Amino acid sequence: MVDRQHWEQWQRSWDRQQEWYLPDREERFRVMLDVVEAVTGPEPRVLDLACGTGSITERLFARLPGAVSVGVDQDPALMTIARGVLGDDRRFTLVTADLKDPEWARALPPGSFDAVVTATALHWLPTDDLVRLYGDLAGLVRPGGVFLNADHTPEASIPLLSAADAALRHRRQEREAAEGVLDWEGWWIAAAADPLLAEQVAARNAMYGSHADGASHPAGWHTGRLVEAGFREAGVAWRSVSDALVAAVR
């Protein structure tokens, strides 16, 4: 039996790799959970969409111990880590589903959700699939519940500011890489070298390739599509130059 500590080390490693790209990652998670608590109270039923290693759910349980979470993903490597870290927690249910499949929600346990949360994931989806997914989510979030999406939201109207921000980010990444921080490719190479993850990484690579990017859109595009999908209101709860946390109330 594999010690839970093994998977927790991989979870921390994943978090650090993500922070290499998103140094304010913890800040956006804090704001995300602020909104969840403000809108839904201390014991929400949450759908962790494209949950990966379970980073959001882990922080949700630390913040709101009375919460329950359903994590959905299809990446076999990241789900193995999530299962190793959270699989013994009765508050957590892990579901395998492909968000590009129009029938993906059939895999979920029955019932609506107080909140749906996701971070740095939905840009993997092609635009048509994302628009359809927003309609699906409007049917899964209870009236008065909330959807939160933290992701890349490039703004064409601020090219000078975006370029300056990108240059600063690249200088920081160069410093951290010299200190041994892994980037995306390096992390997956390390994961493939772990005998307990090698098979799952190979399956994941066959599924996605190196990085199956879909499309990134400005925050205003997301808020508009969410209202069209059936949410009563949508706006930006947090943002940096290149990223935003979009919130929509059902």
DSSP code per residue over 127-166 = HHHHHHHHHHHHHHEEEEEEEEEEEE---TT-HHHHHHHH
CA-wise closest residue to 219 among 141, 136, 150: 150
User: What are the boundaries of each domain within the chain?
Assistant: 4-249
Rounded average pLDDT over 33-54: 98
Residue bearing tokens 């493939």: 192
pTM of the shown model: 0.95
Using pLDDT thresholds of 50, 70 and 90, give the confidence band for residue 208.
confident
State the Cα–Cα distance between residues 68 and 28, nearest whole angstrom: 20
Phi, then psi, of 13 in degrees rounded to 5: -65, -40
Tens of pLDDT along 131-161?
999 999 999 999 999 999 999 999 999 999 9
Using pLDDT thresholds of 50, 70 and 90, give the confidence band for residue 213.
low
pLDDT at residue 46 tops 70:
yes
Q: What is the pLDDT of residue 3?
A: 85
What b/e sequence results for 32-57 when a residue is b if at least 16 CB atoms lie within 10 Å of its CB, and e otherwise? bbebbbebbeeebbbbbbbbbbbbbb
Superfamily for domain range 4-249: Vaccinia Virus protein VP39 (3.40.50.150)
